[in-house]
Amino acid sequence: MNGMKLLRCFCLLMLFCAALPARAALNIEISGAGEHQTPIAIIPFAGEEKLTQSISGIVSADLVRSGLFKLVDPAGKAPHEPREVVYADWVGTDALAIGSVEEQPNGRITVKFRLLDAVRQTELTGQAVSAKSDQIRAVAHRVADLIFEKLTGDAGVFGTRIVYVNRQGKNNRLVVADSDGYGEQVVLSINEPIMSPAWSPDGTHLAYVTFEPGHAAVYVQSLLTNQRMVVANFRGSNSAPAWSPDGQQLAIVLTRDGGSHIYLVKPDGSDLRRLTFGGTIDTEPCFSPDGQSLIFASDRGGSVQVYRMPVDGGPAERLTFEGKNNFSPRYSRDGKSFVFSQWNNGRFYIATEDFQSKQMQILTEGGWEKKPSFSPNGKLILFATESQGRGILATVSSDGRVKQKMSTQAGDIRDPMWGPFLKQ
Amino acid sequence: MKKLLISILLVNLLAACASQKPKEVVSEAPSKPTAETSSGATQMAEPAAPTTPRVAMDPLSDPNSILARRSVYFPFDVSAVQDVDKPIVEAHAKYLSEHAERKVRVEGNCDERGSDEYNLALGQRRADSVKKMLEVGGTRDSQVEAVSFGEAKSRAKGHDEGSWAQNRRADFIYIYK
């Protein structure tokens, strides 16, 4: 049991979570399915009827949303311990999740669950997850992550967060929310545009751009203290912040010296160093996971294409050769590919390209699809798009099969970025 | 929850303090002696009710002057000032060169057919190109601020050339301090 590690994880989670509303701020629709959908039954946990939210319900919703699972209705069967399971009842089901919830006297809850292989009739894993009693959703997401990892081999992202901008009329709000749309937390609310929010690698800070000084300027804000710092407010436009993997510096784009070029700077605005030169537009830099390279969008060759250069300066290598223009590149977490937005045939498409094979794959049907970013397990891509004239968010799985649309009650949402795994 | 609300309040206060938008009080008459007046009337130093009507014909207030044209437009992905708009930019350059106390902000905008960040850069390139032309016409660097909004403050919202053409634009915003 790794109880201590989990307890530390939840202490961090508590710092990020405001009081959680019972209703999601985002409405989610799923379409498509994975190549294989594992049939799984999530049996309501013993004791969960005493809680304000159903843990097994949240776990079920998480697994269904991934597109990789098909829920089997328990139809009244309610085993809570392995010895209560009658395997003959579960023909056609691959896995069973059973468990119990205990409210501790100190105001915490402990969820004990087991994941059983219904075919081999063995236990795949058994864990205990604990947190403060107002962190029910976080506990449920952790259970879903553990089940997901055991059955797919990939880390789950149900406990991760996303950032986006919600615009209603003149008002713009920078919002952090759980990846299922709950737990919305307004980080900034102003009557000027906000763009390009970027998570720091440890999830404690956001860098972003606003037009508060009358032009685009870059800020960094702590999610723990809400303290803001100006990173860059030179003449012209200051924009496109991207964090280095060690969180020690930002790549930004400035126009103060003519053209739009990439600079490196510390998050407090000091130690500015210029990386690209010439009269063209270089923008949307993104660090590689090893911190050694930057990919970026540039029109130095005429059309806008994705290039890669060493982080300490040097010649850039062109990476994209298809479509009319290619924008907004972001590295995958393993550094082997990148996702980007391609303008072609009068539409934007989300596409990925492998560095080694140079193979490009278009993942979407095309529309106003912009600003893609990978989930921290590299299996999903979050991006901004439009539906019925309103800005919404969407995800697509890295194989293109499973899609989600995420819309808000009022206004447009745009400029999303998927946050990191929380440090454990 | 209360702590979060207080934090948000504080952040909004910070944001309000950080805002440096210059006040645009368009109705204020110029007070410097160098202001052009068609009838040779003296400067209007006080906004007190005048005994005789003063017509301070600042060309900027004349709706029939070419200076009333405050926007220039661009083809797709182009930042060079178009021939049809050159007289407008040249007129503003001349005015600014003759009124050293005047300041203007050139705001560049784009249509939506690029990423937000690329559009911010393209809008900046448009604003910079207009500024350069103003300087060639005698405007001082200190009189012009070139900024970009990219597609963030687009005027027309349709996914069609009619809207796009309106958004591919640089505006002259005179600043009255």
| pLDDT score, position A6 | 58
The amino acid occupying position B9 is: L
Give tens-digit pLDDT for B1-13.
655 555 555 555 5
Q: Does B22 touch chain A (CB under 8 A)?
A: yes
Above 0.85 for ipTM, yes or no? yes
In angstroms, the CA A128 to CA A150 distance is: 15
Query: What are the structure tokens assigned to A261, written together?
Result: 């070029």
- In this prediction, residue B102 has a pLDDT band, given cuts at 50, 70 and 90, of very high
Domain residue ranges in chain B:
71-177
Residue numbers of A between 362 and 391 with CB closer than 8 Å to B = 368, 370-371
Q: Does A96 touch chain B (CB under 8 A)?
A: no
- Do residues A350 and A338 make contact, with C-beta atoms less than 8 angstroms apart? no
Of B10, B21, B115, the CB nearest to A284: B115
Mean pLDDT, chain B, integer: 80
Cross-chain residue pair B124–A260, CB shorter than 8 Å:
yes
Q: How many CB pairs under 8 A join A and B?
A: 117
Would strands A412-418 and A161-168 be described as parallel, antiparallel, or unpaired? antiparallel
How close, in Å, is residue A414 to chain B by CA atoms?
A: 10
| pLDDT score, position A17 | 44
Q: Does B167 touch chain A (CB under 8 A)?
A: no
How much of chain B, in percent, has pLDDT values that exceed 70?
Answer: 68
- Do residues A200 and A207 make contact, with C-beta atoms less than 8 angstroms apart? yes
How close, in Å, is residue A159 to chain B by CA atoms?
A: 21
Closest residue, chain B, to A170 (C-alpha): B153
In angstroms, the CA A209 to CA A240 distance is: 7
What kind and span of H or E run contains B106? strand B103-109
CATH numbers and ranges of domains, chain A: 22-152 (3.40.50.10070), 161-418 (2.120.10.30)
Chain B interface test: which of A238, A260, A295 (most B C-beta within 10 Å): A260
In angstroms, the CA B53 to CA A140 distance is: 77
Q: Does A62 touch chain B (CB under 8 A)?
A: no
Cross-chain residue pair A193–B122, CB shorter than 8 Å:
no
Partners of A341 on chain B (C-beta within 8 Å) are 115
How close, in Å, is residue B88 to chain A by CA atoms?
A: 23
Q: In what order do the strands lie in the sheet with A273-274?
A: A238-243, A250-254, A261-265, A273-274
What kind and span of H or E run contains B144? strand B144-150
The amino acid occupying position A9 is: C
Chain B interface test: which of A237, A298, A345 (most B C-beta within 10 Å): A237
| pLDDT score, position B176 | 85
3-state secondary structure of B99: coil
Of B20, B115, B149, the CB nearest to A297: B115
- Do residues A285 and A253 make contact, with C-beta atoms less than 8 angstroms apart? yes
Q: Does B153 touch chain A (CB under 8 A)?
A: yes
CATH topology of domain B71-177: 60s Ribosomal Protein L30; Chain: A; (3.30.1330)
Tell me: pLDDT of B27 over 50.
no
Q: In what order do the strands lie in the sheet with A205-210?
A: A194-199, A205-210, A217-222, A228-232
Distances (CA, A) of A281 to A90, A246, A292: 60, 27, 22
Q: pTM for the full model? A: 0.85
Q: Does A160 touch chain B (CB under 8 A)?
A: no
Q: Does A229 touch chain B (CB under 8 A)?
A: no
Half-sphere exposure of A362 (CA within 13 A, CB side): 15
List, in sequence order, every residue forming a beta bridge with A205; answer none if it has no partner. A222
Phi/psi at A412 (5° precision): -110, 145
| pLDDT score, position B5 | 56
What kind and span of H or E run contains B20? none
Name which of A361, A367, A421 is nearest A392 in CA terms: A367
Each residue's pLDDT expressed in tens, for chain A with a length of 424 residues = 455 665 554 545 554 444 344 567 789 999 988 889 999 999 999 999 999 999 999 999 999 999 999 999 999 999 999 999 999 999 999 999 999 999 999 999 999 999 999 999 999 999 999 999 889 999 999 999 999 999 999 999 999 999 999 999 999 999 999 999 999 999 999 999 999 999 999 999 999 999 999 999 999 999 999 999 999 999 999 999 999 999 999 999 999 998 999 999 999 999 999 999 998 999 999 999 999 999 999 999 999 999 999 998 889 999 999 999 999 999 999 999 999 999 999 999 999 999 999 999 999 999 999 999 999 999 999 999 999 999 999 999 999 999 999 998 889 999 999 999 986 5
Of A189, A193, A284, the CB nearest to B152: A193
Tell me: pLDDT of B14 over 80.
no
Cross-chain residue pair B152–A195, CB shorter than 8 Å:
yes
Query: What are the structure tokens assigned to A378, written together?
Result: 């590299």
Question: Quick one: how far is CA A383 from the chain centroid?
Answer: 10
The amino acid occupying position A84 is: E
How close, in Å, is residue A320 to chain B by CA atoms?
A: 16
